[in-house]
Amino acid sequence: MFEPRTCGKEKTLFNSDIIDEISKVAEIASAFMTSESNNAIVLSGCGTSGRLAFMTARSFNQVVPGQKFSYTIAGGDKALFTSQEAPEDDRNAGVQDLIRVTGGKEKVLFIGISVGLSAPYVAGQLDYCMDKLDKYTPVLVGFNPVNLARNIPIHGWEKTFRDVATRLEKMTSQGKTFLINPVVGGEAITGSSRMKGGSVTIVILQTIFTMALSASVTSSNDSMTSSEMCKAMLETYQKTCQLFYASASSALSSMITNASESFKQESSIYNVGSDGSAVMGIIDATECPPTYGATLDDIRGFILGGYDEFNNAEGDIRCMGEHFKIGSKDLAELLKSRGHKYKDTIIVLIMASSVNVFVEISGLFERSEKELALPTYLTDVFVISMDLSEVKSSVASLLTPSGIKRHIDSLIEICSKWIFNAISTGAHICIGKVLHNYMVDLKVSNRKLFHRSIGIIQRFCPTLSETEATDYLLQSIYGTDDVELVKNNSIQQHIQQATPQDRVVPTAIVMGSKRCLYAHACQLLSNHHVIREALSSIVTS
Ligand code: F1P
């Protein structure tokens, strides 16, 4: 994540060109944040990237007057709690959402985030902004070189993401747009861009706006350029990351064990916290269904204060269903309604001090009549003690007091992300959802995931051509042995059919490796509860 300045010929986060680009965007953001005119800063993305756009807009609206920040996320606020992968493919929806939030604004700083440089929703928005540079200043944040941006057709459009990124790269060289695309290295779980990709997204966004918040200090500080300040800020994340893993590893491993025990006993994990840490817990829970084929009940997130604290654009949307209830009171109700057979893990993040102590409490608990309020039923207490005072003093002279506070909050939020991500990832690995670092039981719920699934099938069935792997995927999606019946359906139809289904990719892998019929593959898989064991034994036997 925080690699040296170059990786091969690619630029990493600490490369001076990347630092300069972040600094330039921070200067523009600062002008937007202090201007009295009717302008806006809009952050946008799909899935995790959209949720982090929301999170950043939420945090900075708390400290910057005038509610300057807004966000768009494919699928709307529903996507903050339940994965809405299909709207990611809709570049028109992206444009319409952008027009809606920027109507009546004079100038807009638009930051489009797509970790893999792939989301059509964001591509549409960036292209629209590039056509209207008198109003919009577009910035693309992602973690691929432009030549590796997605080059697959976007439904109903003649451009691909790569075309849009190439156009933006050209305009960036003319100083009209901005491109922040360091290479951050492969994800530990292939394709799980919520991990490193998500973390570096936060690092970049928070650095931009915290620097902007403190621009008055930079301009009065003759001894330091804004690029030097940016580098110093990035180093505080690097240092925090080192401190975090040095202090948290053993506690994390116990928490992962607790959480996986819950899963093994068909029980759930509940992430709870306050403010930004709680938002991280909710985001973490939301990502598990598309990443691991988890159910919406397997992991859920809750925030103290519910929607009043969450501050999303559409407000209280609990009327959409059970999984949109996010308050700690909702959790208390839920726990009351669950029977004694459940062995849920509740992870409550509590900050003992905002600067140097970071406490985590988790409990694999047994229920009793008294267990109605947090945190009486917590059983295991894990203390992760980190001294951030050195980190704080390294930025003390660079930031305003509100900048320092925001920066420390941001460091705590990123540590919260690492805790929640480690537990949910670790627990899913323990129950066999990952094979050779591939999340083999993913949902085939949008174009990107459709193409990724074909790659995963080929990875485990190396003798299959791309066409054969696609055929097996289609047979699995439609539950048929006659691919000719479904081959001519559109990718959109394939995705619609696949989205509600379980074990689509594992079934296709078994069919491909055994060259067997659909029913036989299902029967072979049904003999195993754990996908990793099933595939290891079936595919290698
Ligand atoms: C957006 C995203 C991911 C999600 C899944 C589907 O990716 O929603 O957040 O985990 O891979 O795509 P990106 O546009 O940020 O690359």
Domain with 288 in it = 235-388+412-430
How far apart CA 382 and CA 389 sit, in angstroms, is 21
Closest CA to ligand 1's atom 14:
114
Ligand 1 site, residue 196, Cβ cutoff 6 A: no
Structure tokens at 63: 């400290």
Phi, then psi, of 127 in degrees rounded to 5: -65, -40
Contact between 268 and 427 (Cβ < 8 Å): no
Q: How far is the CA of 117 from the centre of ligand 1 (A)?
A: 10
The answer to whether residues 198 and 263 belong to one domain is no
The answer to whether residues 205 and 77 belong to one domain is yes
Q: Could you identify the atom of ligand 1 that is nearest to the CA of residue 287?
A: 10
Instruction: Answer whether residue 223 is part of any domain.
Output: no
The answer to whether residues 206 and 264 belong to one domain is no
Give every CB contact of residue 372 below 8 A, 6+ residues apart in sequence. Answer: 332, 335, 336
Last residue of a domain, one of 362, 396, 430: 430
The answer to whether residues 424 and 451 belong to one domain is no
Last residue of a domain, one of 158, 181, 213: 213
DSSP per-residue string spanning 89-109 = G-HHHHHHHHHHHHTT-S-EE
The answer to whether residues 44 and 135 belong to one domain is yes
Assign residue 471 the CATH number of its domain.
Answer: 1.10.8.1080
DSSP per-residue string spanning 394-436 = HHHTTS-HHHHHHHHHHHHHHHHHHHHHHHHHHHHHHTT-EET
How far apart CA 426 and CA 245 sit, in angstroms, is 15
Q: Could you identify the atom of ligand 1 that is nearest to the CA of residue 119?
A: 14
Ligand 1 site, residue 252, Cβ cutoff 6 A: no
Last residue of a domain, one of 164, 180, 213: 213
Instruction: Answer whether residue 224 is part of any domain.
Output: no
Ligand 1 site, residue 284, Cβ cutoff 6 A: no
Ligand 1 site, residue 198, Cβ cutoff 6 A: no
For residue 103, give the nearest of 175, 38, 188, 186 by alpha carbon.
38
Q: How far is the CA of 47 from the centre of ligand 1 (A)?
A: 5
Contact between 45 and 53 (Cβ < 8 Å): yes
Number of domains in the chain: 3
Instruction: Answer whether residue 245 is part of any domain.
Output: yes
Residue 528 CB burial class (10 angstroms; 0-12, 13-18, ≥19): middle
Ligand 1 site, residue 30, Cβ cutoff 6 A: no
Instruction: Answer whether residue 400 is part of any domain.
Output: no
The answer to whether residues 292 and 381 belong to one domain is yes
Please name the helix (run of DSSP H) or strand (run of DSSP E) that holds residue 11, with its range, or none. Answer: strand 10-11
Contact between 271 and 282 (Cβ < 8 Å): yes
Residue 275, sorted as left (phi over 0), alpha (psi -120 to 50) or beta, turns out to be left
The answer to whether residues 487 and 418 belong to one domain is no
**What pTM does this model have?**
0.91
Summarize pLDDT for 31-81 with one digit per residue, the tens. Answer: 999 999 999 999 999 999 999 999 999 999 999 999 999 999 999 999 999
Instruction: Answer whether residue 166 is part of any domain.
Output: yes
Ligand 1 site, residue 114, Cβ cutoff 6 A: yes
Q: How far is the CA of 116 from the centre of ligand 1 (A)?
A: 8
Question: pLDDT 10s per residue in the chain (541 long)?
Answer: 776 666 677 899 999 999 999 999 999 999 999 999 999 999 999 999 999 999 999 999 999 999 999 999 999 999 999 988 778 999 999 999 999 999 999 999 999 999 999 999 999 999 999 999 999 999 999 999 999 999 988 989 999 999 999 999 999 999 999 999 999 988 999 888 999 999 999 999 999 999 999 886 666 666 778 899 999 999 999 999 999 999 889 989 999 998 999 999 999 999 988 899 999 999 999 999 888 888 999 999 999 889 999 999 999 999 999 999 999 889 888 888 887 778 888 888 876 544 333 343 343 333 333 333 344 455 677 777 788 888 888 988 889 999 999 999 999 899 999 999 999 999 999 999 999 989 898 889 888 899 999 999 999 999 999 999 999 999 999 999 999 999 999 998 999 999 889 899 999 999 999 999 999 999 999 988 888 988 988 887 6
Ligand 1 site, residue 118, Cβ cutoff 6 A: yes
Please list the residues that pair with 383 across neighbouring strands.
359
The answer to whether residues 207 and 61 belong to one domain is yes
Using alpha carbons, list the distances in angstroms from residue 402 to 60, 445, 536.
11, 41, 53
Q: How far is the CA of 493 from the centre of ligand 1 (A)?
A: 20
Instruction: Answer whether residue 397 is part of any domain.
Output: no
Closest CA to ligand 1's atom 12:
47
Assign residue 367 the CATH number of its domain.
Answer: 3.40.50.12620
Neighbouring CB atoms inside 10 A of 110's CB total 26
Assign residue 187 the CATH number of its domain.
Answer: 3.40.50.10490
Ligand 1 site, residue 116, Cβ cutoff 6 A: yes
Instruction: Answer whether residue 247 is part of any domain.
Output: yes
The answer to whether residues 18 and 92 belong to one domain is yes
The answer to whether residues 69 and 141 belong to one domain is yes
The answer to whether residues 258 and 209 belong to one domain is no
Q: How far is the CA of 218 from the centre of ligand 1 (A)?
A: 35
Q: How far is the CA of 197 from the centre of ligand 1 (A)?
A: 10
Residue 37 CB burial class (10 angstroms; 0-12, 13-18, ≥19): exposed
The answer to whether residues 346 and 457 belong to one domain is no
What would you report as the CA-atom Rg of the chain, rounded to the nearest whole angstrom?
A: 23
How far apart CA 439 and CA 435 sit, in angstroms, is 7
Residue 467 CB burial class (10 angstroms; 0-12, 13-18, ≥19): exposed
Instruction: Answer whether residue 393 is part of any domain.
Output: no
